[in-house]
């Protein structure tokens, strides 16, 4: 076995660590709430498996067939026009944007881990005030936790694939799953549990609009970490002779199951407290903490477990965002792993400080451009434009540029002909079409109700 490569299970945990993040535990429950539950969850599951998984398998295929950084991978595999395709490799830059607001949110999570044991808010009103004043006024605390996050992430990456990334995920991912199982078992005996199950799985067309489909497509990309060569880069450190379809399927299933578990836990607790789930992004940071307080001592434990789970999920994702840029610098620019890591991390760290400040009252004015502050801009540009763009480029590359023999050899032995055809259909037609509509909608060219 190559000394700095993932073991098979190491790859699965690391890729799942990348995929399972804020998207699953924070965002999925609130967009499900906003889009009325039931139908949305079904559409989401369909898009994840039909479109998301196809591209996921595609990224794993590309990375594992060259075992090189993303730029070199596209150069090596493009039969002609290398000089253009190599730029698809640079979509890792999208990740650096995501990393900035991702680490700002991790800083909030650290604050809420501490708050769980010191002082949970005593009412919904107070909870909202606490969150807003933390966000707007408490630059110092945010900055400390934000800095801590970067140190942890950079330290892990500097240790390399085996001793850093694999080791971290081997500890954090099983712990995360353990915590979610405990929370789910607790939720099952709550009065609101059946209501949560109904809400998530009973089709309800009231709040479901055509735009919900677009939300589902966008989230399918975000939640699987596809479209910015992260998965491709992890797969470049995968041992040969891995069944890439099976490994991808396991990761996608884990990602989906964890999102559903998180949804059930959050909605059970929310319904039991007599609250409604359609509370937007504030569900985790405003509604839940107040409910945890109402629950007394057990609430403190639940709060602690919940925010620790959220932190673990987010840190393993943040780590994966840096690796593609680092691998590129190490292989193509002859930089040492240490230097590459600290360079990339420092760049994102400084950029992220502006993102952090753009939420604060002191600086929001100078860091707001048009309708959005920097935090919202970075989120919007990366999730709504750059990620889908990266996804479409990867789909086009695999579906129309890459030699079909390479594809066939990489997929058919593991799955047979039928699966291969469905997969290729998804890559060539479904995925580009879905992403195209998504981009039209996000850019305001078409409006959906
Ligand atoms: N998948 C992550 C989540 O669900 C978010 C994400 C999107 C991401 N693209 C990424 C994480 C690339 C790491 C790398 O929260």
What spacing in Å lies between the alpha carbon of 417 and ligand 1's midpoint? 31
- Do 267 and 196 touch, CB atoms closer than 8 A? yes
- Best of 24, 95, 103, 385 to mutate for ligand 1, by most ligand atoms within 8 A of CB? 95
Q: What is the atom index within ligand 1 of the atom nearest the CA of 321?
A: 14
Q: Rounded to an integer, what distance in angstroms lies between the CA atom of residue 76 and that of residue 65? A: 10
- Do 167 and 315 touch, CB atoms closer than 8 A? no
What spacing in Å lies between the alpha carbon of 21 and ligand 1's midpoint? 6
pLDDT of residue 36: 85
- Do 303 and 284 touch, CB atoms closer than 8 A? no
- Best of 230, 252, 284 to mutate for ligand 1, by most ligand atoms within 8 A of CB? 230
- Best of 317, 322, 327, 381 to mutate for ligand 1, by most ligand atoms within 8 A of CB? 317
- Do 17 and 173 touch, CB atoms closer than 8 A? yes
Q: What would the two tokens of residue 42 be?
A: 């079904």
**3-state SS record for the chain:** CCCCCECHHHHHHHHHHHHCCHHHHHHHHHHHHHCCCHHHHHHHHHHHHHHHHHHHHHHHHHHHHHCCCHHHHHHHHCCCCHHHHHHHHCCHHHHHHHHHHHHHHHHHHHHHHHHHHHCCCCCHHHHHHHHHHHHHHCHHHHHHHHHHHHHHHHHHHHCHHHHHHHHHHHHHHHHHHHHHHHHHHHHHCCCCHHHHHHHHHCCCCCCCCHHHHHHHHHHHHHHHCCCCCHHHHHHHCECCCCCHHHHHHHHHHHHHHHHHHHHHHHHHHHHHCCCCCCCCCHHHHHHHHHHHHHCCHHHHHHHHHHHHHHHHHHHHHHHHHHHHHHHHHHHHCCCCHHHHHHHHHHHHHHHHHHHHHCCCCCCCCCCEECCEEHHHHHHHHHHHHHHHHHHHHHHHHHHHHCCHHHHHHHHHHHHCHHHHHHHHHHHHHHHHHHHHHHHHHHCCCCCCC
- Do 220 and 50 touch, CB atoms closer than 8 A? no
Does residue 449 carry a pLDDT above 80?
no
Q: What would the two tokens of residue 218 be?
A: 């966008």
- Do 268 and 193 touch, CB atoms closer than 8 A? yes
Q: What is the atom index within ligand 1 of the atom nearest the CA of 222?
A: 7
Q: What would the two tokens of residue 249 be?
A: 């399927």
pLDDT of residue 1: 47
- Best of 20, 21, 231 to mutate for ligand 1, by most ligand atoms within 8 A of CB? 21
Q: What is the mean pLDDT of residues 190-197?
A: 96
Q: Kindly report, residue by residue over 304-355, the tens digit of the pLDDT.
A: 999 999 999 999 999 999 999 999 999 999 999 999 999 999 999 999 999 9
What spacing in Å lies between the alpha carbon of 121 and ligand 1's midpoint? 30
Angle at 383 between CA 378 and CA 389, to 5 degrees: 115
pLDDT of residue 2: 61
Give pTM, 2 decimals: 0.94
Q: For 60-91, give one letter per residue: b (16+ CB within 10 A) or e.
A: bbbbbbbbbbbbbbbbebbeeeeeebbebbbb
What spacing in Å lies between the alpha carbon of 180 and ligand 1's midpoint? 19
Q: What is the atom index within ligand 1 of the atom nearest the CA of 21?
A: 15
Which residues contact residue 284 at a Cβ distance below 8 angstroms, ignoring those fewer than 6 apart? Answer: 25, 26, 29, 30, 266, 306, 310
What spacing in Å lies between the alpha carbon of 157 and ligand 1's midpoint? 16
First-residue to last-residue Cα distance in the chain: 53
Q: Which residue, chain included where needed, has tokens 């924070």?
A: 26
Q: Kindly report, residue by residue over 103-113, the tens digit of the pLDDT.
A: 999 999 999 99
Q: Rounded to an integer, what distance in angstroms lies between the CA atom of residue 354 and that of residue 364? A: 10
What spacing in Å lies between the alpha carbon of 422 and ligand 1's midpoint? 26
Does residue 26 carry a pLDDT above 60?
yes
**3-state SS record for 109-157:** HHHHHHHHHHCCCCCHHHHHHHHHHHHHHCHHHHHHHHHHHHHHHHHHH
- Best of 99, 222, 379, 391 to mutate for ligand 1, by most ligand atoms within 8 A of CB? 222
Q: Kindly report, residue by residue over 419-431, the tens digit of the pLDDT.
A: 999 999 999 999 9
pLDDT of residue 280: 73
What spacing in Å lies between the alpha carbon of 136 and ligand 1's midpoint? 26
Q: Rounded to an integer, what distance in angstroms lies between the CA atom of residue 336 and that of residue 342? A: 10
pLDDT above 70 covers what percent of the chain?
Answer: 99
Does residue 88 carry a pLDDT above 70?
yes
Q: What is the atom index within ligand 1 of the atom nearest the CA of 24?
A: 4
Angle at 180 between CA 173 and CA 115, to 5 degrees: 95
What spacing in Å lies between the alpha carbon of 221 and ligand 1's midpoint? 8
Q: What is the mean pLDDT of residues 392-409?
A: 93
pLDDT of residue 83: 76
What spacing in Å lies between the alpha carbon of 25 and ligand 1's midpoint? 12
What spacing in Å lies between the alpha carbon of 66 and ligand 1's midpoint? 23
CA 284 to chain centre: 16
- Do 346 and 158 touch, CB atoms closer than 8 A? no
What spacing in Å lies between the alpha carbon of 129 and ligand 1's midpoint? 29
Ligand 1 contacts (CB < 6 A) are: 18-19, 21-24, 95, 98, 222-223, 225, 228, 230, 317, 320-321
User: Which residue has the CA at smallest separation from atom 9 of ligand 1?
Assistant: 225
pLDDT of residue 423: 97
């Amino acid at each position: 076995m190559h000394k700095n490569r993932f073991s098979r299970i190491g790859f699965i945990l690391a890729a799942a660590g990348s995929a399972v993040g804020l998207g699953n535990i924070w965002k999925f429950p609130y967009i499900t709430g906003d889009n009325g539950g039931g139908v949305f969850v079904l559409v989401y599951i369909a898009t994840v498996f039909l479109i998301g998984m196809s591209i996921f398998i595609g990224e794993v295929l590309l990375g594992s067939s060259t075992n090189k950084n993303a730029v070199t991978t596209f150069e090596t595999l493009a039969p002609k026009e290398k000089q253009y395709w190599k730029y698809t490799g640079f979509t890792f830059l999208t990740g650096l944007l995501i990393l900035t607001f991702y680490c700002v949110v991790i800083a909030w999570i650290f604050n809420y881990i501490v708050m769980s044991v010191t002082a949970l808010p005593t009412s919904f009103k107070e909870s909202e005030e606490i969150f807003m004043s933390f966000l707007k006024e408490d630059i110092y605390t945010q900055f400390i936790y934000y800095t801590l996050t970067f140190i942890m992430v950079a330290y892990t990456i500097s240790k390399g694939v085996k001793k850093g990334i694999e080791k971290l995920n081997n500890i954090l991912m099983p712990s995360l799953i353990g915590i979610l199982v405990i929370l789910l078992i607790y939720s099952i005996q709550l009065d609101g549990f059946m209501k949560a199950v109904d809400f998530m799985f009973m089709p309800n067309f009231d709040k479901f609009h055509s735009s919900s489909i677009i939300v589902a497509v966008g989230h399918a990309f975000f939640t699987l970490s596809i479209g910015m060569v992260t998965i491709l880069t992890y797969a470049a450190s995968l041992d040969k002779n891995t069944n890439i379809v099976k490994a991808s399927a396991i990761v996608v299933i884990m990602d989906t199951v964890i999102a559903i578990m998180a949804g059930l836990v959050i909605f059970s607790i929310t319904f039991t407290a007599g609250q409604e789930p359609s509370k937007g992004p504030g569900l985790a940071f405003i509604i839940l903490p107040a409910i945890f307080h109402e629950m007394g001592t057990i609430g403190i434990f639940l709060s602690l477990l919940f925010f620790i789970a959220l932190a673990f999920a987010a840190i393993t994702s943040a780590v994966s965002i840096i690796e593609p840029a680092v691998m590129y610098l190490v292989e193509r620019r002859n930089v040492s792993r240490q230097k590459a890591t600290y360079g990339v991390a420092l760049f994102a760290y400084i950029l992220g400080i502006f993102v952090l400040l753009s939420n604060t009252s002191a600086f929001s004015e100078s860091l707001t451009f048009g309708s959005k502050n920097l935090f919202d801009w970075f989120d919007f540009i990366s999730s709504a434009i750059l990620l889908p763009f990266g996804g479409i480029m990867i789909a086009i590359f695999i579906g129309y540029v890459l030699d079909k023999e390479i594809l066939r050899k990489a997929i058919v032995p593991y799955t047979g002909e039928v699966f291969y055809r469905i997969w290729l259909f998804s890559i060539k037609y479904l995925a580009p079409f879905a992403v195209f509509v998504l981009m039209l909608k996000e850019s305001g060219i078409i409006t959906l109700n």
